[in-house]
Structure 1
Amino acid sequence: MSLIRAFAGLRPVDGRAGDVCAPPYDVLNSAEARSRAEGRPYSFLHISKPEIDLPEDTNPYAPEVYAKAAENFQRMRQEGVLVQDEQPCYYIYRLHMDDHTQTGLVAVASVEDYDSNRIRKHEFTRPDKEDDRVRQIDALDAQTGPVLLAYRSEAEVDALLEAGASGAPDVDIVADDGIGHKLWVVRDQKLIDDITARFDAMPNLYIADGHHRSASASRVAAARREANPNHTGEEPYNYFLSVIFPHEQMAIFDYNRVVKDLNGKSPEEFMDTVGKAFEVAPSEVPVKPAGPAEFGMYLGGKWYRLNIREDLIPKDDPVKRLDVSLLADNLLDPVLGITDPRRDSRIDFVGGIRGLDGLQKRVDSGEMVVAFSMYPTPMSELMAVADAGEVMPPKSTWFEPKLADGLVSHLLESR
């Protein structure tokens, strides 16, 4: 089995991509999805968030939700809005946000290589979230949410993708959030073979985002393999939908923290304790850290710049040296008593795309007491953690721009 392969994607018919394109299922809640899909009968949110077409008090994990997803999926196919390509293709996908552009490959990636850790992970998954994606895949008999993968940038591979993006794109839209999405369909067999061979020569791919989607694809493949006495390894269920970018082009934003209280300390006591591990300097302007091991802190209407003591950075540990770990191990846990950020209701996380103003508002409103701005986790650090077989702390990375749902889906049914 090859690491990746081309596939006959299910895509919006010409001229309908703008009607179909939708944010990923996991960045909107049900109310937001209902609002975004209003007046848009072909929005992919009717498939990825189908509870929006049911009574508002419907449990989003109820059986009728998955049945509604399948109904909407079939309706859009029957009405000719979604059409499957006639032959296996690759798809070049270019994202544009402000002055940032990244160009990647839509392909299906090997479940076998995921299971063997050639496609490397860096996060734990939750069984309930896996169960949700398994039910969605089984209901649709398709994978519709792509996994975001990265490869170590190679000039020759980058050039192949650029070659696939020559000429006018098959899709060229700007979504309602201002993100540009362009898609080129690659049908040239030599280019397909060259791309496949270059990826096959790679030692690893890395999951950037989509651990639950890839884990659920693995579970579906295992179940179908077990149920298929004629299993060959070539069936569509042996691969999962992916978009793969060179790591140097990917943009990770800061993933900031806000905390509700000072764990029983007065502001003066808190500042004194923080000063034991960090050099603390007042700042007249909001602090956006300029590099690793530096943090901003907003408390009592004032900004401070925090620099952790050099001797507290464990240089040889790929997890403990992460900024999210340094803040957790030297401040959030010992000073604020937040030992489990996954479950502690006193802490919340704010994606950097909301800006430092978003942190100030949370504190100034009285909802939170203190905020911390972070330096974004570099892709190189994410890959180092994955290579070590370790797991990153929760909320370590925030990728932008987000992939769109609905531009290309992977059918598991045989043609």
Structure 2
Amino acid sequence: MAKIIPFKAVRPAPEKAAWVTCRSYDEYSPAELAAWLEFNPYSFLHIISPAYQNMQTIAVEKRFQSVKKQYENFKAEEILVTDEAAAFYLYQIKNKKQVFTGIIAGTSILDYQENKIKKHEDTLAFRVELFKDYLHQTHFNTEPVLITYPDNPAIHTWINLKKKSQPFYEFATPNHEIHSLWKIDTQNEIDWLQEYFEEIPNLYIADGHHRSASASALYDQDKHLNNPNLHYFMSFLIAESNVKIYEFNRLIKDLNGLSQNAFLEELKKHFIVIPKEQELWKPTQKGEFGMYLNGKFYALVYQSNTKEKESVLTNLDAQILYDCVLQPILGIEDLRNDERISYLSGKQSIASIMEKVDSGDFKVGFMLYPSDINEIKAIADADLIMPPKSTYIEPKFRSGLVVYEL
């Protein structure tokens, strides 16, 4: 069973929602960040990046204190307001290609620790510790963990019916998205949603492994305090069929001392290598890889030569590329920290890979076929970990839209 709770959210004043909310901080270039901070005094960026305007370099603890102070200032000026009663929230993101709709709720730390909320990615200890300290000092979080639940006709029908009512917020953003938010605060609806999720044996983290791990670490550190909010972390719960999964493509700076011909011969030990010349070719199914090298595209078709039954992990395309190419041929051991490898999300065009290789910054690029939700769930169910940068998953949440206080 999965336990979810409503909570008293802190939100932008309705007339300021479009001005307050922003993309995730790390999605802005320095020039964009500076422009938004100068142009928009209501942006949540003023809270999460309080020292940027003066280009200050400050200690981490002082920066967290500045974040908290700016947050309190926004509340004092009623740019941000606190709901009077606990609620769930229905949130929709609509872009040119897709509509994402999910439920914002508090999810149980104990469910996470007992593996009822399953993971498929590893975490870095220093990042978990850093965000735990951030939560401890600022006492709020505005970045929910993206969690999937099994598709269900009853939930789907309820969501569609709820969306026919007037949203609490509805606004457009410069990246051509329309954001809508409905408050779910009637006791009947709250009870119904809680009862529904109690029948679900497992939920699956799609995005936000570090955030959930940090919330769990904070709970372990501070659970002696009389703060019930510490027992939960904010999540965006979305049906499995409603997430969009992209691949992460790989760019490598050199061929590890091999000539081009020698490299191609090494690839033939595990792949059928098919020249595609100038065709902008990308994989169309699992087990296929695209490659761009020296101005030409290639199709690489994986040929398994193992007689043992492959596990869900060894059959994962990102793992195959690592096991057969990146580690043994190109000498890349650490996918997180090796400076010879970079990543490009599948949202970007193949032309971006061409440009980076043709510029001389990289020697070769690899295109992967995206994983699907069933692969992710199978990895999580087997308590296995996907290679770093295996998936880029949407939707992405707007910072400052809903705040969970600790």
**1:75 is paired with a residue of what secondary structure?**
helix
Correspondence list, 1:373-412, <5 A: 373-412=367-406
Name whichever of 4-13 and 313-322 sits farther off.
Answer: 313-322
TM-score (norm 2): 0.95
Cα–Cα, structure 1 residues 271 and 296, in superposed 2: closer, same or farther, change >3 Å? same
User: Is 1:295 aligned to 2:295, yes or no?
Assistant: no
Amino acid at match of 1:245: I
% identical aligned pairs: 35
Q: Which one of 195, 200, 208 corresponds to residue 198 of structure 2? A: 200
Supply the distance in 1 between the matched residues of 2:308 and 2:89 (Cα, whole angstroms). Answer: 42
Return the letter of the residue paired with 1:134.
Answer: K
1:255–1:352 CA contact under 8 A, matched in 2: yes
- Aligned residue among 69, 72, 88 for 1:71: 69
Q: Deviations over 1:64-106 (max 9, x none)?
A: 2111111110111011111111111111111223221121110
- TM superposition score normalised by structure 1: 0.93
The residue type equivalent to 2:350 in the other structure is L
Mapped contact 2:270–2:305 kept (Cα < 8 A) = no
Aligned-pair RMSD on alpha carbons?
1.9
Residue pair 2:2, 2:203 contacting (<8 A) in 1 also: no
Q: Which runs of 5+ in 2 are unaligned?
A: none
How far does the alpha carbon of each residue in 1:269-328 deviate from its partner, in whole angstroms, 9 at most, with x for none? 111111221111122421221111111100111111111014459764121111100111
Rounded Cα–Cα distance in structure 2 between residues aligned with 1:314 and 1:66: 51
Long gaps (5+) in structure 1: none
Q: Deviations over 1:141-199 (max 9, x none)?
A: 12221111111222222223333323122222222222332111112221111111111
Task: Tell me the CA shift for residue 26 of structure 1.
Answer: 4.2
Give the aligned residue type for 2:25: Y
SS at match of 2:51: helix
Paired position in structure 2 for 1:252:
245
Tell me the equivalent position of 1:39.
39
Q: Residue 243 of structure 1 corresponds to which residue in structure 2? A: 236
Query: SS where residue 39 of structure 2 aligns?
Result: coil
Q: Deviations over 1:13-62 (max 9, x none)?
A: 11211111111234446665334433112211222333324x42515x62
Aligned partner of residue 107 in structure 2, secondary structure: strand
Q: Is residue 280 from structure 1 mapped to residue 273 from structure 2 by the alignment?
A: yes
CA change 1:8–1:80 in 2 (3 A) is same
Residues 265 and 129 (structure 1 numbering): CA distance in 2 closer, same or farther, change over 3 Å?
same
Q: Structure 1 256/394 Cα, relative in aligned 2: closer, same or farther at 3 Å? A: same
CA 38–295 in structure 1, closer or farther in 2 if over 3 Å, else same: farther
Structure 1 residue 56 corresponds to structure 2 residue 55 = yes
After superposition, residues 11-160 of structure 1 pair within 5 angstroms as 11-28=11-28, 32-53=32-53, 55-59=54-58, 62-160=60-158
* 8 Å Cα contact 2:168-2:181 kept in structure 1: yes
Tell me the SS of whatever aligns to 2:14: coil
Inter-partner Cα distance in structure 1 for 2:28 and 2:127 = 15
SS state at 2:128 partner: helix
In structure 1, what is the Cα distance between the partners aligned to 2:30 and 2:64? 14
Amino acid in the other structure paired with 1:191? E
Structure 1 runs of 4+ with >6 Å offset: none
Structure 1: distance between partners of 2:35 and 2:122: 31
Q: Distance in 1 between matches of 2:26 and 2:16?
A: 23
1:45–1:245 Cα change, 3 Å: same
Q: Secondary structure at the match of 1:15?
A: helix
Separation (CA, whole Å) in 1 of partners of 2:234 and 2:26: 16
Aligned counterpart in structure 1 of residue 185 of structure 2, from 162, 187, 207: 187
Name whichever of 251-260 and 309-318 sits farther off: 309-318
8 Å CA contact 1:254–1:397 kept in 2: the answer is yes
Shift of 1:63: 1.7
Cα separation, 2, equivalents of 1:315 and 1:184: 48
Structure 1: distance between partners of 2:334 and 2:119: 21
Give the counterpart of 1:355 among 338, 341, 349. 349
Q: Which of the residues 204, 211, 214 maps onto 1:213?
A: 211
Q: Deviations over 1:92-144 (max 9, x none)?
A: 11122322112111001001111111111111211221222122212221222
**SS state at 2:15 partner:** coil
Contact 1:289 1:375 in 2 (8 A): yes
2:2–2:201 CA contact under 8 A, matched in 1: no
8 A contact 2:22–2:400 mirrored in 1: yes
1:348 CA displacement:
0.5
In structure 2, how many angstroms separate the alpha carbons of the residues matched to 1:29 and 1:119?
34
Q: SS in structure 2 opposite 1:393? A: coil
